[in-house]
Structure 1
Amino acid sequence: MKTHNSIDERFEFAGNAKTISLVAIVIGVIAIAFGFIAGGDHVQRAYSNLLLMSYFFVGVCTAGVFFCAYQYVAQAGWSASFIRIPQAFAKVLPVASVILLLVITAGLLHTHKVIEHGKEEVVPYLYAHWATHGLVIPGSENFDPIIYGKRGFLNIPFFYTVLVLMLGSYSFFGLKMVKFSTDEDTTGGMSNYDKSFKYACIFLVIFGFTFPIFAFGVIMSLEAHWFSTMFGWYNLAAMHVSGLALIALIMIYVQKKGYFTWLHIDHLHSIGKMIFGFSIFWTYVWFAQFFLTWYANMPEESVYFYIRWEPEYKFWFWLNIVMNFLAPLLLLMSRDAKRVTNRMMWTCILLIAGHWLDYYLMVMPGTVKEHRGFGVEEIGIFLGFAGLFTFLVLNALAKFNSLVPKKHPFLQESLHHHI
């Protein structure tokens, strides 16, 4: 059985993939420029879509670090032969983190005038619900007692400190695990694997406690009166499914280009099981959050879903559950379905689009308010970030000296993976 004939090969990032990704980046830049030049509501849509996509970008790159970490902690062997793909995600995470911080900074500093409750107010384009001047100053005409009660964590210094610490720690552990893996290729032995195991354990503890806080800050605080303790896990599930779908898509792409010849249908089957399983987990958290809010009928909680049941959002609200639950349920449930490459490819594309819609529904009702269709900003900025992700990840993959961690202790198990 030919499983590892080209184990020393390097990936070459060239041709159509490179050209198309660069064209997509240019389209994204044009869409951003259009939003700011057009003015009016287009500026708000530009900021909202930039936040959506930069958060999505950070999320899927973090999913790569998360994947590597739990594979090390579980001492899993099946993934060793393609671990370079999520490691490439980890290498891109620092860039994604900087982009997210720049978007948030611009959205907080750039203000505009709006009419709220019959009076004109100056508010930032992002996080106006808690970052508008006067909300936490007793006696101010903008004073908000709910935000005043949350001022200990809904303030700019705390917000930035937490974001920088979390993004910095995720990036640090991701790059460390990549370094240990590449060092392992030259030094051999178990020392680097043991370091990867140790760092992965520490990362998972930090990540498990902090990622919900990250989701609370970046996304949930867009509608700062509302709260849900399940929101962080809901975001984690969406992030993980999206990351797994992208890992599978890149696996399929590079194999079609003649690389990773040692991978076979059993590897795709295994990652397909994970995509299916975590899609069901996402649905569980989605339903639990929705059902408990409906059952409690508390105004400060139910308002979140009320505005998403307005006519302009209601169709997309239900399409979200169809794309992210029914589609993987019907397309990936059987064993054979996970072993059909084209079906897996299209299911992954559908899930990436579905979770973009999922994030869209988290961001837009609290910022843009009224849904006016998918225009230049939505489509163009999505394409721009898709191109940027593709360019950076495939470029990172091309910089590995070998597509396989040649001295990984479980490599042979992965090369002969069979289920």
Structure 2
Amino acid sequence: MATYSNTFEQSAGNKKWGTILTGIGILTLLAGIGLLGFSGDEHSKTRFWAGLLQNSVYFLLVVNAAMFFLCATTLGFAGFTISFRRVAEAISTLVPVFGVLALVVLLAIVFTDQTHIYHWMDTVTRENDKIILGKSGFLSKPFFVIWTIVAVGGWTIFGAKMRKISREADDTAMDTETAKKWLFKNSVHASLFIVCFGLTVASTIPWFWLMSIDAHWYSTMYSWYVFASTFVAGMALIALYIIYLKNQGHLPFTTKEHLHDIGKFMFAFSIFWTYLWFSQFMLIWYANIPEETEYFRIRMHGEYRGLFWLNLILNFVTPFLLLMKANAKRNYTIVTFAAVVIIFGHWLDFYLMVAPSTMKAHGSIGWFEIGVAIGYVGLIILLVGRGLSKSPLVPMHHPLLKESIIHHT
């Protein structure tokens, strides 16, 4: 009979690769500062800040999606998540770290007046541009800084509270009355996170951090588009860690039934992302308003044309074909491959949100963009492993654990 451990200890190999990849990221950053950041070439400086913006925002929103998943399923009393919820909790522990990194990048862009990233910060442009002037009440440095700090702080505080409450299910068994009170407390704090998430990721934060790069352009679907992109990548990351832990002899109550449900999330939100992608594109193409079509013109022609269509292939066609069948969602190899494609594909999606509007025809994915991304992957390996080792992998006294154990999809 197989034996399972309810504790995780990060292996030497795991630490080694995490350290190596993080080191590559740090060396890339240092090289980027010297060769790009302090370069006299305007395009090199723009590439430096655009690469940092893309990676810091993408990876922060991906790890934050793990806590959104936990809170949304908590409010729905979805018991199937209990057997692997500590995976999502461990991923969400990266929010404070990645939040600080994103804050440093965003505030540095604002306070050092990197107007080649955010044109609305330029005083002359603001005074002579009616469109930007009309948005000045929203697109201003104080508003940008305050809302950025509030958003990252809210995700950090509410996420930490959810993890703290979850640890209470490790101590002692709960009677019926205690379980009801505990579940109610859990739901209250989950709802607070959801409200914070709705006011930030689902609305204002994508406008500030990404859409304002094109201050003349706007889309009412943009925030949902960003949410769909990062949520499906977050689910893919959860799937990768579930498969990794299962292969290491952990998570005894997590079965292919649970992996099937995670696969359904990956499949469904790939379709949802595509729906938003097409709706945004189709409406702008049909209206044919110059200020709106410029956003897609620069992405569909010239330098970015290949990446534009590759984005659709990686984020729609590939997950659609791989995960369509039920058996595919239960296959470790297929789900692993699909998850890696999704995470890379939406990293590319974020590149296309940032680079064409900042670099114009001078953009290219090279050593700097990839090197910084590798550094973030290394940090994920190191910090998620540390998060998994800090508490039991399964909350054995959770009132809904039985539902997860007997779960069938």
| TM-score, shorter chain, exceeding 0.5 | yes
- Tell me which moved more, 306-315 or 280-289: 306-315
Give, in whole Å, the separation in 2 of the partners of 1:226 and 1:352.
Answer: 27
Residue in structure 1 matched with residue 142 of structure 2 by the alignment:
157
Contact 1:63 1:240 in 2 (8 A): yes
Point out the more displaced range, 158-167 or 352-361. Answer: 158-167
Task: Name 2:167's counterpart in structure 1.
Answer: 182
Give ranges in structure 1 of 5+ residues lacking alignment. 112-122, 138-142
Identify the residue that residue 192 of structure 1 maps to in structure 2.
182
Partner of 2:8: 11
Q: Who is 1:215 aligned against? A: 206
Q: Is the 8 A contact 2:302 2:361 kept in 1?
A: no
Residue 58 of structure 1 corresponds to 60
Q: How many residues are matched?
A: 398
CA separation in 2, counterparts of 1:328 and 1:202? 32
Match in the other structure for 1:171:
156
> Stretches of 4+ moved more than 6 A in 1?
none
Residue aligning to 2:366: 375
1:194 counterpart letter in structure 2: F
Work out whether residues 50 and 381 of structure 1, in 8 Å CA contact, stay in contact via their aligned partners in 2.
Answer: yes
Match of 1:28 in 2: 25
Check the 8 A contact 2:355/2:363 in 1, yes or no: no
Instruction: Tell whether the 8 Å contact from 1:35 to 1:43 is kept in structure 2 after alignment.
Output: no
What is the CA–CA distance in structure 2 between the aligned matches of 1:198 and 1:105, rounded to whole Å?
A: 32
| 1:78-105 C-alpha deviation (Å, 9 max, x unpaired) | 1101000111122221111111110012
Aligned pair partner of 2:315 in 311, 321, 324: 324
Which residue of structure 1 aligns with residue 191 of structure 2? 201
Q: Does 1:364 align with 2:361?
A: no
Secondary structure (helix, strand or coil) at the match of 2:266 reads: helix
Distance, in Å, in 2 between the alignment partners of 1:87 and 1:338 is: 23
Deviates more, 1:201-210 or 1:354-363: 201-210
* Structure 2 residue runs without a partner (length 5+): none
Give the Cα separation in 1 of the matches to 2:379 and 2:196: 28
SS in 2 for 1:308: helix
- Greater Cα shift, 271-280 or 164-173: 164-173
What letter is aligned with 2:162? M
Q: Percent identity?
A: 40
Task: State the secondary structure of the residue aligned to 1:83.
Answer: helix
TM-score by length of 1: 0.91
Q: How do 1:12-411 and structure 2 match up within 5 A? A: 12-38=9-35, 39=39, 40=41, 41-110=43-112, 123-127=114-118, 129-137=119-127, 143-187=128-172, 188=174, 189-190=178-179, 191-211=181-201, 212-400=203-391, 402-411=392-401
Q: CA deviation at 1:371?
A: 4.5
3-state SS in 2 of match to 1:249: helix
Going by fraction, where is helix more abundant, 1 or 2? 2
Distance 2:335 2:116 in 1: 39
Alpha-carbon shift at residue 223 of structure 1 (Å): 1.1
Q: CA deviation at 1:324?
A: 0.5
Q: Summarize deviations over 1:189-240 as a string: whole Å, max 9, x none.
A: 3233221111112322332233221111111011111111100000010011
Cα distance in structure 2, aligned partners of 1:45 and 1:20: 27
Shift of 1:125: 4.9
TM-score normalised over the length of structure 2: 0.93
For the 8 Å contact 2:66–2:91, the answer to whether it is kept is yes
Q: Matches of 2:196 and 2:111 in 1, distance apart?
A: 30
Letter in 2 for 1:176: K
1:22 positional shift: 0.9
- Measured against aligned partners, the alpha-carbon deviations of 1:215-271 in whole angstroms (never above 9, x if no partner) come to 111110111111111000000100110000000001111111222233221111110
Amino acid at match of 2:215: A
**Distance of aligned partners of 1:196 and 1:263 in 2 relative to their CA distance in 1, 3 Å threshold:** same
* Structure-2 separation of matches of 1:290 and 1:74: 33
Shift of 1:374: 2.3
CA distance in 2, matches of 1:321, 1:68: 28
Q: Is the 8 A contact 2:56 2:102 kept in 1?
A: yes
Contact 2:219 2:280 in 1 (8 A): yes
Give the CA deviation at 1:418. Answer: 2.0
Contact 1:109 1:124 (C-alpha < 8 Å) held by counterparts: no
In 2 relative to 1, CA 372–134 (structure 1 residues): closer, same or farther, beyond 3 Å?
Answer: closer
